Structure 1
Amino acid sequence: MTSLPGGLVALPSVYRPQADTHLLAEALAREELAPDARVLEIGTGTGALALNAARRGAEVTAVDVSWTAVATARLNALLQRLPLSVLHGDFVARTAGRRYDLIVTNPPYVPAPAARLPSRGPERAWDAGPDGRMVIDRICAHASALLRPGGVLLMVHSAMSSAERTLDRLTRAGLSATVTARATVPWGPVLLSRRSWLRSQGLAHTAETREELVVIRARNT
């Protein structure tokens, strides 16, 4: 178990808060949350973002496909003494029939050679198929059904996975979507290890070693 800033802990293989998490946390802080707001986090990892919302008085549900992440988020909720419902499994199945005022998600978005999502290991937190959109597209397809009228989706991902496609899909699903934040960060170990493959797929230029992160805000009209 690893100790993290803010009094959080992470069990082995659980995604630890990084630049994308912090960018999304800043966007979350800008959102108004009523005391009885219902919030969903898809892919909670350590539970850091879900706990941020719970600390503001929201009723928060967090979902993750990894049992280790679920255990980590539950442990962090206990350590922080905050109410948090953490569910294991696919977010669509575990939220059937429920609607939320706010959805936050830092989904897997790293392009990967494999045509399927990994079923185990830390790669589950970042690998998302050849275009990096296997999870992003599912979220776009189900967001309108999961949001109450006026509800908001906040999603962070790499520009490498095409913010334009995300905006288009959300708009076609009936949401009003815009990019509200951007940040440029150095490539991490995963992208650096795939440098040749990314370039062969036209996803990166020869000298490119930095990626742009975007936060997309979509409101259910």
Structure 2
Amino acid sequence: MLFPTDVGLSLLTALTNDTSIAFHGRRVLDVGCGSGLYTVAALHDGALHVTATDINPACAEATLHNVIRNGLDESAVTTTVADLSHLDVDQPWDLVVCNPPHFPGDPAYAAGDGIEAALVGGRDGRALYDVLLERLDDLLAPGGTLLLTHSSLTDVQRTTKHLTQRGYQVRTLQIVELDIPLRRYAAQRDLLLARLYPLRTLGRAAFRGLRFEVHTLAATRGSTSEESR
């Protein structure tokens, strides 16, 4: 389980600077909740209820623990241990928040401690992005908004094009430039970069030296009447 990173914190910075999106009175799905950063922020901003989901049971436990430690209402949180592709949806959410892992995978990254699941997103880094996009119409209520931290290492244009074609209104709240976080993978630095260079050649990853961008995207689903037109 990761401590909140600069990538994850950048979404909260974007919301601080753009107050047009608020959690107050809304039902929220926190996808890949980690230590509960977004769940705590949503409840602090008056969210009606938050469903916090992660594939790691320790993350669900830590999220609830951090809600309690921050003096927030634990009855307003449901924690679920599930793969997003198999998450049950009784009622779609008003807001879906996600900070997906974004490194391309390699067996050398596996350390047996599970940390690669928090940082590595399949062969090209897009594994969770693609599942999220596939399920978004099920997860998000009409008129609802997806808040997504999108790494430039994982083809931002592909995601925005997909959402736009599906009728979502997409806007960029913020772009920040960060260092590619290699400390955890210092021993595999050259291997990691070797995975990124071909993706950049294909136009599916963007970075300069060891600097990449994080785009905070807000994608709002049309209302039922808008979608029918």
Distance in structure 1 (CA, Å) of the matches to 2:177 and 2:86: 34
Distance in structure 1 (CA, Å) of the matches to 2:199 and 2:23: 45
Post-superposition offset of 1:92: 4.2
Pick aligned residue for 2:84 from 83, 91, 97: 91
Pick aligned residue for 1:122 from 110, 115, 122: 115
CA contact (8 A) 2:150 2:216 kept: yes
Structure with higher helix content: 2
Post-superposition offset of 1:26: 2.2
CA contact (8 A) 1:44 1:50 kept: yes
Distance in structure 2 (CA, Å) of the matches to 1:107 and 1:218: 15
CA contact (8 A) 1:179 1:216 kept: yes
1:68 equivalent in structure 2:
58
206 and 182 in structure 1: CA distance in 2 versus 1, 3 angstrom threshold: closer
Q: Which amino acid aligns with 2:102?
A: Y
Distance in structure 1 (CA, Å) of the matches to 2:62 and 2:86: 21
Distance in structure 2 (CA, Å) of the matches to 1:51 and 1:143: 23
Q: What TM-score do you get using the length of structure 1 for normalisation?
A: 0.83
Q: Does residue 196 in structure 1 map to residue 194 in structure 2?
A: yes
Q: How many residue pairs end up in the alignment?
A: 206
Q: What TM-score do you get using the length of structure 2 for normalisation?
A: 0.80
Distance in structure 1 (CA, Å) of the matches to 2:171 and 2:31: 20
1:50 equivalent in structure 2:
39
57 and 172 in structure 1: CA distance in 2 versus 1, 3 angstrom threshold: same
CA contact (8 A) 1:141 1:170 kept: no
Question: Structure 2, unaligned stretches of length 5 or more?
Answer: 223-229
1:108 equivalent in structure 2:
101
95 and 179 in structure 1: CA distance in 2 versus 1, 3 angstrom threshold: farther
Question: Structure 1, unaligned stretches of length 5 or more?
Answer: 1-13
Post-superposition offset of 1:202: 3.7
CA contact (8 A) 2:104 2:195 kept: no
Post-superposition offset of 1:195: 2.1
2:227 equivalent in structure 1:
none
CA contact (8 A) 1:28 1:154 kept: no
Q: Which amino acid aligns with 1:70?
A: A
Q: Does residue 164 in structure 1 map to residue 153 in structure 2?
A: no
Post-superposition offset of 1:217: 1.0
2:226 equivalent in structure 1:
none
Distance in structure 2 (CA, Å) of the matches to 1:206 and 1:26: 22
1:36 equivalent in structure 2:
25
Post-superposition offset of 1:15: 1.3
Deviations 1:45-99 (A, max 9, x none): 0101111001122111110000111111111112112232211112343342321
Distance in structure 1 (CA, Å) of the matches to 2:212 and 2:50: 31
Distance in structure 2 (CA, Å) of the matches to 1:209 and 1:154: 26
> What is the Cα-based RMSD across aligned positions, in Å?
2.5
